[in-house]
A and B are shown apart, each in its own frame.
Chain A
Amino acid sequence: MRGTMGRPLGMALYMLFLLIPVYWLINMSFKTNTDIMSGLTLWPHAPVLDNYRKIFNDPDWHASFINSILYVAVNTVVSVTIALPAAYAFSRYRFIGDKPLFFWLLSNLMAPPAVYAMPFFNLYSSIGLFDSIWAVALAHCLFNVPLAVWILEGFISGVPREIDETAMIDGYSFPRFFIKIFLPLIANGIGVAAFFCFMFSWVEQLLASTLTTVDAKPIAAMMSRAYSAAGLDWGLLSAAGVLTMIPGAIVIWFVRNHIAKGFALGRV
């Protein structure tokens, strides 16, 4: 069955399946609500930019976009920075409790965010971080730090130990060796880890909206604004949806050659 045409055809069908719902969202974002409700059309017959205009002219929408980008950035930087030395330790050394510790770290990756919604709410309220980008950035560390450790450990294990030893013999101090020699060697791994931290923090919504109300409202929570008293603003919702897809799409474009590698988590 699988001739020379089978594979491209299968791929084309799958991509069609992926893209049609996305196209549908884009299509709706260029329609007015009356247009949307009046029935099904495959493309916007009278395309309007009103929905996008509404978003671009509203400071609340800007603020929520910036909030989202800020907490994702803070989380990515923090996660990767603290995961690096730990991943190095797990990859190079054996120490008391290393295996249980590694498993315990990974088990956090598997913890349902819903379990943490209520305790996080209490914790961040009590230390005065509630409704700040820091609360969300820290909360996302729960799953991003273990993930970064896991990915980086895989990449570091791929670098031969001899390199560390040679540098020591050449008289490098550990910090200098780590920054000057080691980091460039695992630059790919750092990129992949950062990409995954970005991705999981960007798409997560339950914790992000539980931990914020007004000041640090993320874009995901802002979208609930389309569910107003006047009913659902489908056009606005679609336009906001399209806009939230853009950062992800840009990031994938830049890291496309590393994506597959990262999904193998460096360990295969």
Chain B
Amino acid sequence: MTETKIWDNRAWFFVVPVLVFVLFSSLIPMMTVLNYSVQDTMGQNNFFWNGAGWFQNLLDPTTEVGKRFQGALARNLIFSFVVLALEIPLGIAVSLCIPKHGWKVGAVLVIIALPLLIPYNVVGVIWQLFTRGDIGLLGVGLRAIGFTGFNVTQDATSAWFTLVIMDVWHWTSMVALLCYAGLKAIPDAYYQAARIDGANRWAVFTNIELPKLRKVLIIGMLLRFMGSFMIYTEPFTVTGGGPGEATSFLSIDLVKMALGQVDLGNAAAYSLVYNLITLTVCWIFFTYTTHADAKETA
């Protein structure tokens, strides 16, 4: 497709509206953050230069802010890793089970897409209620089969278990829908050829479907990584970041610092480093996919 593009710098005019909006909603706010990140204040709007002080604070694992940041980062990375490891294979499996023809397709798609359209705080409310040890079906059920210590607000393992199951419930559908779209794009000829060769189900999956799904899977993994790395509302509603600090992910910790404690300097440095990490991961994914694309077309 790229060869058919025409070189014309006037195309910039088409991009101006988007640029204005995104600059307004991205760059201007970021300038404020940058500003706070290098200054300190004594209150009353008196700011003075603080250089890289906040950043040194943040990246030094012996300071309190440094410890907080490291802890939240580690928890967030573990959480992302766990939910990706569960959601990607499960999503692929579900996509293979979606019916191919008839009225069932619509019905199944609607039910699958449902969790994606529930406001994040309602997702949190649903799971908060569902896992309550006294009145929730899952909570009571788990206690009944012997997990007597199950308590989201007091036991870290229970809190993590709940958040992971909740995320799988909430987002596996997205992976499944992506894969379903990818599967639909595979021409019938491939399946016919496989049938002629007498390939079994597993061979069709590993030799045809999985390679063809590679691109959508990369998009799915990127979206899920970013989603889980930015997660805020759902864990905030279910656990509030607790018990203790057990489920204080980066966003929760940052909001606590910025809006709760109004610790502007530290929060600004935190924001920038956090944003930088997501950008780097995003960039690595993009270069990897474009590189892989180039190889494929070569």
Chain A residues contacting B10 (CB-CB under 8 Å) are: 95
Give the docked Cα–Cα distance between A33 and B22 (Å).
46
Q: Could you give, for residues 235-278 of chain B, a 1 whenever the CB lies within 8 Å of some chain A CB and a 0 otherwise?
A: 00000000000000011101100110000100110010011001
Binds A, one of B47-55, B81-89, B121-129: B121-129
Given the interface pairs A25-B129, A28-B129, the reply to whether A86 lies near B14 with Cβ below 8 Å is yes
- The yes or no answer to A133 lying at the interface (CB within 8 A) is no
Contacts of A96 in B (CB 8 A): 9, 12
A82-B18, A203-B119, A263-B177 as given contacts; A93 in contact with B11, CB under 8 Å: yes
CB pair B119–A205 under 8 Å, yes or no, is: yes
Complex: how many Å from CA A263 to CA B109? Answer: 12
> Is A263 touching B114 in the complex (CB atoms < 8 A)?
no
List the A side residues contacting B26 at CB < 8 Å: 108, 111, 142
In the complex, what residue of chain B is closest to A38 when comparing beta carbons? B135
Tell yes or no: A181 within 8 A of B by CB. Answer: no
Size bracket of the B interface: 35 or more
Q: How many A-B residue pairs have CB under 8 A?
A: 283
- Of all chain B residues, the one with the shortest Cβ separation from A108 is B26
In the bound complex, do residue B122 and residue A118 qualify as a contact, i.e. CB atoms below 8 Å apart?
no
Instruction: List residues of A (1-16) whose CB comes within 8 Å of B's CBs.
Output: 2, 7-8, 10-11, 14-15
A146 on the B face (CB < 8 A): yes
Q: Is the CB of B110 within 8 A of A252?
A: yes
Residues on A with beta carbons closer than 8 Å to the beta carbon of B268: 118
Q: How many Å from the CB of A52 to the closest CB on chain B?
A: 15
**Is A113 within 8 A of B110, CB to CB?**
no
Chain A nearest CB, measured from B20 CB (Å) = 8
- Per the 8 Å Cβ criterion, residues 88-134 of A in contact with B are 88-96, 98, 101, 103, 105-123
Interface residue B201 (Cβ < 8 Å from any Cβ of A): yes
- The reply to whether B110 and A256 form a contact with Cβ atoms under 8 Å apart is yes
Which one, A122, A142, A204, A219, contacts B25 given CB within 8 A?
A: A142
Is A197 at the interface (CB under 8 A from chain B)?
A: no
Instruction: Specify which of A112, A145, A223, A251 is in contact with B22 (CB 8 Å cutoff).
Output: A145
Q: B25, A39: Cβ atoms under 8 Å?
A: no
**Other-chain residue from B9, B28, B181, B274 in contact with A95 (beta carbon distance below 8 A):** B9
B173 at the interface (CB under 8 A from A): yes
Contact, CB under 8 Å: A112 / B274: yes
How far is B49's CA from A226's CA once the two chains are assembled, in angstroms?
44
Cα A110 to Cα B216 in complex, Å, equals 17
Q: Are A253 and B129 interface neighbours, CB within 8 A? A: no
Give B1-23 as 1s and 0s: 1 = Cβ < 8 Å from A's Cβ atoms: 10011111111101101110110
Cα of A146 to Cα of B15 in the assembled complex, Å: 12
- If A7-B96, A11-B97, A119-B30 touch, whether A141 touches B278 (CB-CB below 8 Å) is no
Binds A, one of B63-71, B146-154, B224-232: B224-232
Query: How far is A39 from B137 in the complex, measured between Cα atoms in Å?
Result: 10
> Do B113 and A14 touch (CB < 8 A)?
no
Q: Is A199 an interface residue (CB 8 A)?
A: yes
Q: Evaluate contact between A22 and B114: CB separation under 8 angstroms.
A: yes
Please report the C-alpha to C-alpha distance between residue A157 and residue B271 in the assembled complex, in whole angstroms: 36
Bound CA–CA A145/B286 (angstroms): 19
**Pairwise interchain contact A249-B93, C-beta atoms closer than 8 A:** no
Contact surface of A with B, Cβ cutoff 8 Å: 2, 7-8, 10-11, 14-15, 17-22, 24-25, 28, 36-37, 39-40, 42, 78, 82-83, 85-86, 88-96, 98, 101, 103, 105-123, 138-139, 141-142, 145-146, 149, 157, 161, 199, 202-206, 210, 219-220, 223, 234, 237-238, 240-241, 244-245, 248-249, 251-253, 256-257, 259-261, 263-265, 267-268
